[in-house]
Structure 1
Amino acid sequence: MVVHVTLFRSDFALYQLKWALLVSGLLALPLAGRAQVRAAVRGTVGSGSSPALELATVTLHRATDSVAVKTEFSDKQGAFRLEAVAGRRYRVSVAQVGFGRYWSPAFELPGGVLTLPAIILVPSQAASLKDVTVTARRPLFEHRPDRTIMNVADSPLAAGATTLDVLGRAPGVTVDGDNLGLRGRQGLLLILDGKRVPLTGAELADYLRALPAEQLQSIELITNPPASYDAQGGAGVIAINLKKDQRLGTNGSANASYGRGEYGKFTGGLTLNHRRKNLNAYGNYTYTDRRYFTRIDDERQFVATPSLPAASSVLTNNQVSQLRSHAAKLGLDLNLTKRTLLGVSVTGLASQTQATTTNQTQLYGANGAPADRYASEVAQDINRPSGSANLNLRHPFADSANAATLTADADYARYRTTRLLDLTTYFDAPAQAPTLLTGDQRSTLSIGTARADYSRPLRHRARLEAGAKVTRITSDNEVVFANTANGPRTIDLAISNQFRYEENVNAAYVNLHGSAFKTTLQAGLRAEQSNTLAAPSDAASRTQHYFQLFPSVVAERTLNDRHALALSLTRRIDRPSYVQVNPLRAYLNATSYSAGNPYLMPATSYNFELTHTYRQKFSTALAYARTDQPIVNVVQPSPDGNHLVVNQDVNLRTQHFYTLTLTAPVTLTKWWELYATGFFYYNRFLGQLNGTDLDRGQVACNLTLNSSFTLPKGWSAELNGFYESREVYGFEALRARGQVAAGLQKSLWSQKGTFRLNVADIFYTTPINSTYTFANFTERFYRRQDLRVVTAALTYRFGNSKVAAARKRAAGAEEELRRAAGQ
């Protein structure tokens, strides 16, 4: 249940303090029940000349397909310990420079700790060579019960691409214009290196376009996040992890790529890293210069209203844009003591988009006869500098891998936007003097967070996790529009405005993990108290305070060697972002603009999922989600009349979502791996808007097929294809679309260099064809972009190539946040 209370602005700080104290007290609640814990396998590694080998790479594999589950390094005594889910079959491999790889027989891991016989490595015939290089490549996709991991760093298709391009090829992710979806649903929590990105819609899309894929390590698609994650995001969480060099000594890499579609696209970057026993300093920088086009054809039908006659219009829009961005990160990890790790990092992303849009509009009367005809030219200069800083601490209370651990993080991020607009309209029929609308829009968004997480083992092989987090978001926005017609310039007070938005969320959670008799259980509860303030300059302020509980439960049962079942239940929320409630306008052309909706309400959802896993690799999942007051994006007639349209978000009454998910990772040969996913779903929306009653749904599917090829002489290749069927989302109906992309990769210069060549959207099948239908209005649009691109890229790595042992690495905040989330 959600309770909304409207108070005067003076009460806002008082409620923040009151609820922060109340929520923080949840950490002292009594805890009961049993939860998931992982069993462990341990052993020692030696050789014929030494009973102990340090820094040997020990990997735990699934016995069925040899996919790596976990990797660790042996210590000074040659000992190792690997944790995994009990009741499943595994194998252990051990590798060390100068020795042949060792493979253990398959074994079933019982509860508790299994000790393997001592492992003795045999010297390899290549041990006498001066340079011996051991390489290991993670699979492109890894499927786990609650998430899919896409390892981007080694993908040939990532070269020269943007983060938005890579997400568009991820299994189950849809990119509909500027809107992101996961498995047929919108409303996501996007996390970058453990930190929330508080953007949505066009601003989020522009941010992801400015972030080069060369900086990405992996992307995690989390459909059932545990209680340690924010409850924001009804469809789930997309966690983007950036690269971080783990090599010892001083080293780095340089990369450059050039792509060509209709226009050119360049990306270049440099990374540097210095790591020694108790210190790691690192930094990277990437520059991007991309030009591209966007072409939109519109057809609109207006039904007669008391204030406006019936009409129709045909529009063509042609936009040419240039995006330049600078992305950088600096960090320092320091071992304060044997067990205390301190990390600090700063990141920056500055982008500038200069775009020119030409528009032709023909208006027709009710009888179909041509009426007004005019053209417009829009020049926009958009600057988006942003920066963030993080301070983090990790302290395990013992040397054991299973010791109680405390982590703490403090983050501050600031996003600024300056949008300058010149919109000139030329009238052909009836003829009149041109008009000029200028706009100066400036906004500042700041987000500060502080969190602490505590994890400790309990009796009976259980583990407790608990934490608290405080988030504060502040957004200041101002826009001034001026009209120039026949000489005089006047400020348009009707659409010039100021808007301030504040959001404070105080949260606390507890998680219990445990296992017994081939059954594992994770149960968590998260409490969040929210305070929001929306204050436009021309209307009364609107304040809301509400408290909610978000339970999450995941139970897994291993039936036998081949079959396992998992059942999950989560409750989530979609709070409107500052962009979605900001009523200030951003014009696209003379007939269209976008604006926020200050009356948006948060949407809450319950999510159920039942998953069957066969041979620990093939999975089938059935899921249902019910969302109350879902937030959807619509295009509808503007209250201004004059056949203008506005793009904004609105609340509907209910959304019902049913899905069947099939996942099949297959090793066809030693050199060919296939990862296939299929999402079959039914989305049904109920609500009312703009005089139109909505009860609409349709069966749809999203299919992804990815092939990875390991070829001789250092070559590898990747082929990716996806298909999105026709679907209905609220008042919008989208036609089917898809894409095929291919990439080739070659190792050079004793594996210090990598050459990549790829082609995206080979058959140019990604244009969006969509229709919005209301009782009094219909719009059909066809959108094409510069997405068929051929890219060549070169990367060179220099310096020390020895990788640090995992137990000696100083972990930054992003690694600790992922660990705290059970990843």
Structure 2
Amino acid sequence: MHSPQARPWLRFFLATGLPMPKFFSTRLYFIFTRCLAGAGLLALPLASMGQAGPAVRGTVADSAGVPVASATVTLHRAADSVAVKAEFTGAQGTYQLAAAPGGRYLVSAVQVGYQRRWSPAFELPAAGLALATLLLARSTSTALKEVSVTAARSLYEHRPDRTVLHVEDSPLAAGATTLDLLGRAPGVTVAANGNLGLRGRQGLLVVLDGKRLALTGDELADLLRALPAEQVGTIEVITNPPASYDAQGGAGVIAIHLRKDQRLGTNGSVNAAYGRGEFGKFVGGGALNHRAQKLNTFGNYTYADRHNFTRVDIERRFAPAGGPGSSSAQNNDLTNHLQSHTFKAGIDYNLSARTLVGVAASGLVSHLASTNQNQTALYDGAGALTRRYHATVGQDVRRPNTALNANLRHAFADSAGAATLSADADYARYDTRRRTDLATAYDQPSAPAAVLTGDQRNNLSLASFKADYARPLPHRMRLEAGAKATRVRSDNDVAFDRTENGMKARDAAISSTFRYDENVNAAYGILSRAGARTALQAGLRAEQTNTLGHSNGGTDDFERHYFQLFPSLSVEHTLSDRHALGLSLNRRIERPNYSQVNPLRVYIDPTSYGAGNPGLLPATSYNAELTHTFRQKFITSLGYSRTDWPILLQVQPAPDGNLLVVSRNVNLAVQHNYALTLTAPLTLAPWWTFYGNAVLYYARFVGGPAGGPPVNRRPALTFTGSNTFALPGGWSGELNANLETGETFGYERLKYRGQVGAGLQKTLWAKQATLRLNIADVFYTMPIRATQTYATFSETFYQRLDTRVGTLAFTYRFGSAKVAGARKRAAGAEEELRRAAGQ
């Protein structure tokens, strides 16, 4: 017989397993209904255990007398302060702890942002005891779960599995792009091709407001460049994602959360920023929000208009076995104009105090027009000039992207810590229209001009449905479970026309179509327990993947089906008030996305193009990390990962010769990665705080394509140092420095680079307005110098961007200043709904 407590949630999971979508495999359904039932059976004896003996009762409140919910209350032996048991306070700040009568005890209470408070020692009578209210004072020091680096609010918040960047509080965020923000995030690197890396590893899952972005490389970078920082509230860099996240992304997860106003009543904001490097950059927009007791409507819009340049010098050396070899030198001077419109609108409605429904629509529509002036010279093995030409490459890229979301949140009781159910249905469409005009004029020897015109169309749609359930269990345990189904479809059509001697004809060899379908069905379960000194979380996620690729003619067709399990484990143990240890283990996957397997070409210049690799295999990784925390803020972690079939970008001579070069992704056999991370938040003065993060990492690759595995190996270091200053008169400042030492990753070797950014911020008119001034890349040290070496081919390039920019920004907020979360009588169920909704 199941206990009365355990029976309802066990029935829920077994019931919700029955109407799974038809495309869920029988095997997936079989395993997970039994996994969840097994988790329920594990919890049954715990649920049936009640509290025995007399109890210590009391209330925890802040210095103003307002009850503090979810504070940790611990019962200690009076003789040596050893913890006996612990609990969380309820919605009204109350707690109850059972213990053996006749013993002498102490009670302590703590909450994030508050100092720990102790009760006097007492002896517990047989009838129990009610203690006086424990009043918590605000903490002025840094706590483990929130590393403060400003006097008012932390810019960086460190949690056991992630680092949170509070973007809206940063003076350096004004006028920036989301890609700029990530380039300054601790441990994150942005490669020349736009690929994101974390602690020396590539392969990240990027989610926007909880929704996966099915893009990588240049396409993802272009979207992040088009998304203004003014739209972003927080960015989470998650190194050890729990099983509730997709298993995609061997290096971790970057979760971007857009701003959402929590103030009551009708309120909003308007903002404008203008930056100037070599070219001008403008960002402007506004937001409007109305939050009542049951209804919340919101909307925002941002327009960005940015002019930029990219200058690249490339030297290549071709040395085929047994041949004299040849080389080339080229200069590219590209200017571009990016215009983007970003918007979001939605409605949330409380059907009851425990049920919330909502719908939202969002979009990012961008237009990028660019012109590249290319000069190329070719030389023979003796260094003599054999050919010289110049080309103009014009591209017009339009990306109308839209997304729709419908969601439901329900709490099963009117109290904090109640069981919750959430469900989301999402549909997103990412379309790309790329028009390319490549005109080449031959200077030496003289030859007729040639024109290559390309018309490329891509329609990418992503639909998903997920449901998540969370329930607290007795003895500080918690159960989470959920299921998700995702479907991605990409339709691609490329047509290239060549014009020579005045005759225009279709180039059938490089014109084609390609369709990619991906379906991932997943389910997960997480069981966690937070003890007085030890916290444990164990999770299991299963994903069934079905992929299909089809090209015109069928030469690049593929079909793959596979089912994999992704376990995860996280343990945190407090050794003393100064030392704590943590251990995390997980398994993750990096599936090639549509652009990485799409064989159709994208031309960069007359001698360079990018193309996908239909033969790419998914990469799976095993990850382990050991963490030590000293005095609740100084963190040292040592990580190791092994990745089978790692995916990395390779530049090599194209199969069709003529000194063409192709950039494509390939699989190597194995990648070993080692990383040492140091984090130090310091309060250097009452008005000056510092956050430092350093990552020392080393990657070793084994096996590879016919040309052999990478042979260059050396450790690398990234450092992020952020200084924030609270200045008189409503002024504040930020000084940020990033450094990346020389790095070898795969076939690419990069030289050091970094940047320094400085910003000032002034609040005006009773904090209703903010004026910001910043300068990014003050010393212009962000240019990229790198060398790609593969077999008998090498390429060295030097890339400069318009990164040294000074920006002046102004924001004005109007309407009510009362925050919804500050209501003293907010019901526990409402708190749970907001937490489930990610607010």
TM-score by length of 2: 0.86
Query: 1:411 touches 1:450 (CA, 8 Å); kept in 2?
Result: yes
Offset at residue 687 of structure 1 (A): 2.0
Letter in structure 2 aligned against 1:354: A
Which residues in structure 2 correspond to 1:618-697 (within 5 Å)?
A: 618-697=634-713
> Does structure 1 residue 264 correspond to structure 2 residue 272?
no
CA distance in 2, matches of 1:687, 1:466: 39
Which residues in structure 2 correspond to 1:533-612 (within 5 Å)?
A: 533-540=548-555, 541-612=557-628
CA distance in 2, matches of 1:718, 1:81: 42
Q: Which residue does 2:764 correspond to in 1? A: 748
Offset at residue 810 of structure 1 (A): 7.0
> Does structure 1 residue 43 correspond to structure 2 residue 51?
no
CA distance in 2, matches of 1:316, 1:347: 40
CA distance in 2, matches of 1:280, 1:716: 33
Offset at residue 460 of structure 1 (A): 2.9
Which residues in structure 2 correspond to 1:141-290 (within 5 Å)?
A: 141-177=156-192, 178-290=194-306
Q: Which residue does 2:10 correspond to in 1? A: none
CA distance in 1, matches of 2:415, 2:786: 57
Offset at residue 653 of structure 1 (A): 0.7
Q: Which residue does 2:398 correspond to in 1? A: 383
Offset at residue 634 of structure 1 (A): 1.4
> Does structure 1 residue 449 correspond to structure 2 residue 449?
no
Query: 1:279 touches 1:810 (CA, 8 Å); kept in 2?
Result: no
Letter in structure 2 aligned against 1:159: A
Offset at residue 366 of structure 1 (A): 1.5
Aligned pair partner of 2:368 in 350, 353, 369: 353
What secondary structure is seen at the aligned counterpart in 2 of 1:138? Answer: coil
Query: 2:57 touches 2:131 (CA, 8 Å); kept in 1?
Result: no
> Does structure 1 residue 793 correspond to structure 2 residue 801?
no
CA distance in 2, matches of 1:647, 1:595: 6
CA distance in 2, matches of 1:596, 1:19: 32
CA displacement 1:78-136 (0-9 Å, x = unmatched): 75789xxxx99865699xxxxxxx97746899xxxx997447899xxxxxxxxxxxx99
What secondary structure is seen at the aligned counterpart in 2 of 1:153? Answer: helix
Letter in structure 2 aligned against 1:663: T
Name the CA shift for 1:301/1:699 in 2 (closer, same or farther; >3 Å). Answer: same
Offset at residue 689 of structure 1 (A): 2.7
Letter in structure 1 aligned against 2:474: R
What secondary structure is seen at the aligned counterpart in 1 of 2:352? Answer: coil
CA distance in 2, matches of 1:107, 1:580: 61
Letter in structure 1 aligned against 2:33: G
Offset at residue 22 of structure 1 (A): 4.7
Which residues in structure 2 correspond to 1:806-817 (within 5 Å)?
A: 807=826, 816=836
Q: Which residue does 1:732 correspond to in 2? A: 748
Name the CA shift for 1:424/1:741 in 2 (closer, same or farther; >3 Å). Answer: same
CA displacement 1:271-290 (0-9 Å, x = unmatched): 00000111110000000000
Letter in structure 2 aligned against 1:515: A
CA distance in 2, matches of 1:454, 1:518: 27
Which residues in structure 2 correspond to 1:78-93 (within 5 Å)?
A: 79=93
Query: 1:393 touches 1:813 (CA, 8 Å); kept in 2?
Result: no
> Does structure 1 residue 531 correspond to structure 2 residue 551?
no
What secondary structure is seen at the aligned counterpart in 2 of 1:797? Answer: strand
Offset at residue 194 of structure 1 (A): 0.7
Name the CA shift for 1:34/1:107 in 2 (closer, same or farther; >3 Å). Answer: farther
Offset at residue 58 of structure 1 (A): 10
Letter in structure 2 aligned against 1:599: G
CA displacement 1:335-391 (0-9 Å, x = unmatched): 001101111111010000000001000000111100011011011000011011111
CA distance in 2, matches of 1:454, 1:739: 44
Aligned pair partner of 1:522 in 512, 520, 537: 537
Offset at residue 444 of structure 1 (A): 0.5
CA distance in 2, matches of 1:25, 1:241: 32
Q: Which residue does 2:630 correspond to in 1? A: 614
Query: 1:24 touches 1:507 (CA, 8 Å); kept in 2?
Result: no
Query: 2:416 touches 2:831 (CA, 8 Å); kept in 1?
Result: no
Q: Which residue does 1:774 correspond to in 2? A: 790
Offset at residue 403 of structure 1 (A): 1.4
Q: Which residue does 2:125 correspond to in 1? A: none
> Does structure 1 residue 757 correspond to structure 2 residue 773?
yes
Offset at residue 694 of structure 1 (A): 3.2
Offset at residue 33 of structure 1 (A): 5.8
Which segments of 5 or more consecutive residues in structure 2 lack a partner in the other structure? 1-20, 48-55, 75-87, 97-105, 122-128, 138-149
CA distance in 2, matches of 1:41, 1:292: 62
What secondary structure is seen at the aligned counterpart in 1 of 2:703? Answer: strand
What secondary structure is seen at the aligned counterpart in 2 of 1:336? Answer: strand
CA displacement 1:602-638 (0-9 Å, x = unmatched): 0000000000001111111011000000000111111
CA distance in 1, matches of 2:379, 2:520: 50
Which segments of 5 or more consecutive residues in structure 1 lack a partner in the other structure? 1-12, 63-71, 95-101, 123-134
RMSD in angstroms over aligned alpha carbons?
Answer: 3.3
Offset at residue 750 of structure 1 (A): 1.2
Name the CA shift for 1:438/1:658 in 2 (closer, same or farther; >3 Å). Answer: same
Letter in structure 1 aligned against 2:60: G
- Tell me the number of residue pairs that the alignment of Structure 1 and Structure 2 aligns: 764
Name the CA shift for 1:651/1:104 in 2 (closer, same or farther; >3 Å). Answer: closer
TM-score by length of 1: 0.87
Q: Which residue does 1:394 correspond to in 2? A: 409
CA distance in 2, matches of 1:670, 1:393: 44
Aligned pair partner of 1:296 in 312, 315, 330: 312
